[in-house]
Amino acid sequence: MAAEVTIPNLGYTMTVAKILKWLKSVGDPVKAGEILLEIETDKVNYGIESPAGGVVKLILVQPGDEVPVGGLVAVVGTADEIVDARHYAKKEAEKPIPEAVQSARPKEAGSSGPPPAEERRFVSPLAKRMAREKGIDLSLVSGSGYGGRVKMADVERYLGGPKEKKIEGPLLPQPPEIAEVIPLTTMRRKIAQRLAQSFHEAPHFNLCTEVDMTEVKRALAGLGEKGGPDEGAKISISDIFIKAVALTLRGHPRLNSRLNGDRIEIMRRINVGLAVALEDGLIVPAIEKADEKRLGQIAKERKDLTERARQGRLALSEIERGTFTISNLGMYDIIFFTSILNPPQSGILSIGKTMDRPVVRDGAVVIRPILEMSLAVDHRIVDGAMGANFLQDLKLGLENSVLLM
């Protein structure tokens, strides 16, 4: 019996996935568990495995298409099995898809119940949103997707061609000064939604201080190129900060917590995330139990997570397990900045570039490597004194390598 390949649910925020590429074509043999295609979600790129061995009989969507969670994308069967594409088209059309909109054709008087499948119009979430924003009557847009599904590209194509009719609301022409329009990727769109929500719903405040990095630089020099015989990864300033933050969080549990309704939940584990820049967004994989690990272990895991983040090979659990975030822009020659909270976490630390500066030590002016850092916290959970005490203890640990190590 033919096996259906559908879009899995990879997180409670996921509603739709974008098809990136197919690794198999119709007629290709496939093993159970072999990757058939890659999709892009709001958090990760993900390879969908074949649920059974056999031959790819049908491919129902193309790269660039957006498919809701649970949507059918392919069918795998035995080599001699006959698969009727019309059966699957009808099956998909009869699904109660939330994004479906009714045809503009009026029902006959006295009719009741849902219209026949051939009268329904199925629309991707992005296409539906664009049509609403541009004032487009979707009954006028021809769908090029599977089963006549209307995609964002169909709406864009309609915008570029002659219009038969439109619902009330002006259509704004593209200003001549715009050179290029870049549609938001699934990840970029989700970043925008999450950070806008965080900025407006979680009242932030920022605390800033300077750190004398003399002891950190001395510690790095003493550790050399490798973190240890078992780890084999070069230790960086980011690794030092991950370890220092994790140890400091032990004494400041409110900064390792989240707000859930009318209660504050202190997290059992200290999982420190490090923001990683991608080509069109960022992602925050977290090192689990960072306070319990050696610097060499942290360096090795940080390197692995960073590489897999840029390759789109992170597991969802590696992204969602973070309890506190660090953002380091020092390598981009940024001296100081503040960050927006990574929900639902209560704190994020921003660290800038280490620079040699004149400072006063024991009444004399000397040159020291100084780093500026800022702490953003959710004021619903953390008060000013709590945040200040955390920063003081973090600074103390960084400026005293004995305490840090």
- Only one residue has tokens 């019996």, namely 1
Q: Number of C-alpha atoms within 13 angstroms, CB side, residue 364?
A: 4
Residues 6+ apart with CB under 8 A from 171: 134, 135, 136, 159, 163
356 catalytically annotated:
no
379 catalytically annotated:
yes
SS3 at position 299: helix
Distance CA 349, CA 376 (A): 6
SS3 at position 170: coil
Residues 6+ apart with CB under 8 A from 404: 215, 216, 219, 240, 243, 244, 247, 397, 398
Please check whether residue 348 is in contact with residue 231, taking contact to mean a CB–CB distance below 8 angstroms.
Answer: no
Instruction: Look at residues 15, 20, 9, 99 and name the one whose alpha carbon lies nearest to residue 61.
Output: 20
DSSP state of 50: P
Instruction: Look at residues 43, 17, 110 and name the one whose alpha carbon lies nearest to residue 320.
Output: 43
What are the structure tokens assigned to 62, written together? 């193309």
Q: Which of 200, 204, 379, 393 is catalytic?
A: 379
Instruction: Look at residues 190, 189, 150, 177 and name the one whose alpha carbon lies nearest to residue 13.
Output: 190
Residue 179: its H or E element: none
Please check whether residue 124 is in contact with residue 147, taking contact to mean a CB–CB distance below 8 angstroms.
Answer: no
Question: Which amino acid belongs to residue 288?
Answer: E
What are the structure tokens assigned to 111, written together? 């009719």
Please check whether residue 314 is in contact with residue 250, taking contact to mean a CB–CB distance below 8 angstroms.
Answer: no
Please check whether residue 50 is in contact with residue 77, taking contact to mean a CB–CB distance below 8 angstroms.
Answer: no
SS3 at position 85: helix
SS3 at position 325: strand
Q: Which of 230, 280, 356, 383 is catalytic?
A: 383
CA distances from 301 to 270, 297, 312 (A): 15, 6, 16
As a whole number of Å, the end-to-end CA separation of the chain is 60
Catalytic residues: 379, 383
